[in-house]
Structure 1
Amino acid sequence: MTQPESTLQSAILHRDTRRVPKKAIGGKGCYIFLEDGTKFLDSTGGAAVACLGHGHEEVQQAITDQLSKLSYCHSAFFGTSVSEELGQFLTESTGGQLSKLFVASSGSEVVEAGLKLARQYFLELPTPQPQRTRFISRKPSYHGTTLATLSIGGHTSRRQPFEPLFADNTSHVSPCYPYRGKYTGETDDEYVARLGEELDAEFKRLGPDTVCAFVMETVVGASLGAVPPLPNYLRTIKSIVHKHGALLILDEIMSGMGRCGTLHAWQAEGDGDDVIPDLQTIGKGFGGGYAPVSGLLIHEKIVRVLDRGSGVFRHGQTYQGHPVGCAAALAVQKIIRRDNLLENVNQMGAYLGKELTARVGGHANVGEVRGRGLFWGIEFVKDRTTKEPFEPSVGVAGLMQETGMERRFGISLYAGTGTADGVRGDHVLLAPPYTVTKEEVDLIVQKTGEVIDEVFGRLMAEGRV
């Protein structure tokens, strides 16, 4: 039997076994350089990761310096100065309310760690609550690729192959998604109140004292396409969660660490106790892609319970607190603060949103342009009036990403599907570096518009629109 060509070309299990991706050989700033000579505009930072762009020499030097000191030690035996400094930096950024940092290597790992810590918290209370075994999350949502994190997530197509393996302790409520969720004539306040009532009813249906935590993305990323919460939504949700004695876990792996214009995305909703989470996951922009690193920030009230109980988080990983990952994250975060890059995120983000709306917002197949900071989504629809999505067989989002990869366009458009109902619906994400310039934003908008025109031009010629 003849082997598929891709098997002969590569020994790597790529995302598509029938294709070998183009090879990237270098990068600088907003650009990745390919082996065929293409200068590729990385307008998404990969998956909203490369917050400082590529080839930042200061971060590279920090990594080199750490490697020359110590590349690895196991956290069961030793701590490191760089992890302590990183923890201090991050906890201070929350006013000390999130008082401890657990460092791992990927988003899925820290979401899973958060679920386990939530459970352990209730077991170690002075009066334990072992009946709290359930979690509530939201429909289309994405929290990771492990079995537990996929179970928490509400993205139908990602979950479907593995659902027989999931535990049955997770349920889902509606997201805060005004474009599709609000009723005609309903105000924002009325919509938020309705979502709160839905969550309250779910707690009551399950039995309020059986729920460990409610899990949500502060600004929804890959599953819905950069959907920020409406005013007072987070306050409403947290008040209901705490009324029933559960914990609030905010997933900011994609939207946090400056991506949406504040270091923590929840900080845009206010600065009081009524918005701060009990547990918060961070990643992607945490280390900017310079090393695999992620984190779980833990509220002081949880820390106190562990201190007075076993004193041990019954979870650990080989690469927990990896010195090189910590060095990369610390360097990235110090540069963001020193260079006042959040101001640029807000200025260039507002400009990107305005220019995107002007260029593609009126397109017959663009339903909505939305976002916050340098985190923007474009949702595609078959009919603007009815908001009818395309069928998955058309593959609109995938076509956008693939067309952008063509050498004549050379731009990344991060494709997402299941936007409308977990299966149907298409969007793309844009998430350029925090250092992006006005000229680069103009180029991103130009190329994005050209790709959208090209894709729908082809589909129209084929009679598929």
Structure 2
Amino acid sequence: MGDYTPDLAAATAPTPTEKRVDETGVTASSGVLYHQLRKEPLNIVGGRGSYLLTDNGQEILDATSGAAVSCLGHSDERVHEAILEQLKKIPYCYSLYFTNSAAEKLSKLLVESTGGQMSRAFIVSSGTEAVEAAVKMSIQYFTELPVPQPQRVNIISRKSSYHGNTLGSLAVGHHAARRKIYEGILSKNMHHVAQCYPYRGMKDNETNEEYVARLAQELEDEFQRLGPDTVCAFFAETMTGATLGCVPPLPGYLKAMKAVCERHGALFVLDEVMSGMGRTGTLHAWEQEDVVPDLQTIAKGLGAGYAPIAGLLVNKHVVETLSKGTGSFVHSQTYQGHPIACAAAYRVQQIVQGDKLMENVRAMGEYLSQRLHERLDSHPHVGDIRGRGLFWAMEFVQDKETKEPYPPSKALSWTLHTTGLKPEYSISLMPGSGGIDGVNGDHIVLAPPYNTTREEIDLIVDRTVGVIKEVLG
């Protein structure tokens, strides 16, 4: 992939005169509700490998796989074939009435990938939907016990976290900017404790073990404050995503948090929408943490962007409880188990296994770490470089000694992103802000495809360093 040059002719990019020009010769306004309404984004008309092609012929190195989604890069013909094959069989059937072979195959693969620890998969269309399902499952589980516990309606999550953008999932997370205008209508049953954030959270001279113990005690204290028998679940990203910027859990941290949950009979829920399905070097990020969740959400790397797909994986003991109770899950989605999406994801997972991409993620992840540290450790404004697998972030500071962040008014992370899109760099970087307290803090994330190469890693690092130097000197 590192040597790939996009085929401009094959992409059939429109000429400048074809670009949304109306009969008066004036560029027609778009019908799309853009994220930034006063600025038209670049228009992508093609993609091959790790490159995106715009309608003006610019070739952009997609160093983030979109939002850590396109784990195979763009336009893998093997996935195209799977989609077409399924399209000819059956494109859609309603999961409330029927199952379908594509959903059955994918779900079986997912269950087997956990060694049978998770025994059922609930396939939906987005990470947000998966989190919504996890919230509902957490509540319903306690109504299905031999002695029901309907009072368990509180959920504990973490600050500077992100779990989705519907009202329910937004309440579970703690992305301050996205929550702000909706705070008045968000659920008051969601509560938040501190992140595992060693760069800023650890005290001077505090050991990793002491820090983990302090965070576990904070969770214990929150259980006690709410009433231990009122908490149904603790939600955490196994490894934080774009909101905090790729912070791996310290050794023993998740195990300590699960122990608190087990002590009080609450469910332990891991959100692997961004960090899962291979992004951190194992198919499930929890495999590296000596824990098994009761519920697990997955999404981005599941289908590699070829179709909208996500899932909730349910631990066998939770499934057994529901089976002995009402025998159903009081929740459904119209596009649940969508045959085309499932067929695409199944082929993606076959490719991940068959091409031994987890080995490549680990090897290239080590190389990316090495190159980032070599090039940026000495930079006066790069405060922290952190990550795992092919999921890395750099946090920026005005002063490395004090760790003082840049003011939000500077919009540093977004400036780095937009600078990267200049023709001389042509790289897509993922910006993140507000990680410290919801307002302050800037970082950028790198998340290359699982089949990236050493040559491509070198190019990503070179261009990223060039962008940082232009913006910060």
TM-score by length of 2: 0.94
CA distance in 2, matches of 1:360, 1:158: 31
Q: CA deviation at 1:350?
A: 0.5
Counterpart in the other structure of 1:227: 247
**1:5-84 correspondence runs (5 A):** 8-84=28-104
Tell me the secondary structure at the aligned position of residue 215 of structure 1. Answer: strand
Equivalent residue runs for 1:302-313 within 5 Å:
302-313=318-329
Q: Name the counterpart of 1:463.
A: none
- Greater displacement, 47-56 / 353-362: 353-362
Encode CA deviations 1:313-363: one digit per residue, 9 max, x unaligned: 110111000001101110111110111100000000000011011112221
Deviations along 1:25-57, one digit per CA (max 9) or x if unpaired, are 111111111111111100000000000000101
Task: Give the superposition deviation at 1:8.
Answer: 4.9
The match for 1:104 is 124
- Where does residue 13 of structure 2 map in the other structure? none
How many residues are aligned here?
Answer: 448
From 132, 139, 145, the equivalent of 1:119 is 139
| CA–CA separation in structure 2 for the residues paired with 1:261 and 1:104 | 24
Task: Give the whole-Å Cα distance in 2 for the aligned partners of 1:184 and 1:284.
Answer: 37
Using the alignment, how far apart are the partners of 1:121 and 1:184 within structure 2? 42
RMSD in angstroms over aligned alpha carbons? 1.0
Are 1:261 and 1:342, in contact at CA under 8 Å, matched by a contact in 2? yes
SS at match of 1:398: helix
1:298 to 299, 314, 327: 314
SS in 1 for 2:427: coil
Q: Secondary structure at the match of 1:149?
A: helix
Correspondence 1:368-383 to 2 at 5 A: 368-383=384-399
Q: Are 2:355 and 1:339 equivalent residues in the alignment?
A: yes
Q: Does 1:197 align with 2:197?
A: no
Cα distance in 1 between the residues matched to 2:335 and 2:378? 48
Who is 2:205 aligned against?
Answer: 185
Structure 1 runs of 4+ off > 4 angstroms? none
Per-residue CA deviations over 1:265-296 (Å, capped at 9, x if unaligned) read 000113xxxx1000000001010000000000
Whichever residue aligns with residue 403 of structure 1, its letter is: T
Q: Distance in 1 between matches of 2:70 and 2:421?
A: 18
Aligned position for 2:373 = 357
In structure 2, C-alpha distance between the alignment counterparts of 1:387 and 1:29, rounded to whole Å? 37
CA distance in 2, matches of 1:300, 1:415: 38
Shift in Å, 1:7? 10
Quick one: percent identity of the two aligned structures?
A: 54
**Which of 419, 424, 439 is the aligned partner of 2:455?**
439
Q: SS at the partner of 1:263? A: coil
Partner of 1:389: 405
Q: Deviations over 1:415-442 (max 9, x none)?
A: 0011111110000100000000000000
Residue 428 of structure 2 aligns to a residue in which SS?
Answer: coil
Task: Name stretches of at least 5 consecutive residues in structure 2 with no aligned partner.
Answer: 1-25
Q: How far apart are the structure 2 equivalents of 1:318 and 1:224?
A: 32
Q: Does 1:254 align with 2:254?
A: no
8 Å CA contact retained: 1:9, 1:20:
no
Give the whole-Å Cα distance in 2 for the aligned partners of 1:234 and 1:137.
Answer: 13
User: SS where residue 9 of structure 1 aligns?
Assistant: coil
The residue aligned with 2:300 is 284
Distance in 1 (alpha carbons) for counterparts of 2:27 and 2:308: 27
User: Residues of 2 paired with 1:251 and 1:24: CA distance?
Assistant: 30
Aligned amino acid, residue 134 of structure 1: N
Q: AA paired with 1:373?
A: G
Which residue does the alignment assign to 2:114? 94
Q: Residue 450 of structure 1: CA displacement? A: 0.2
Shift of 1:99: 0.3
Match of 1:169 in 2: 189
2 CA distance for matches of 1:303 and 1:390? 48
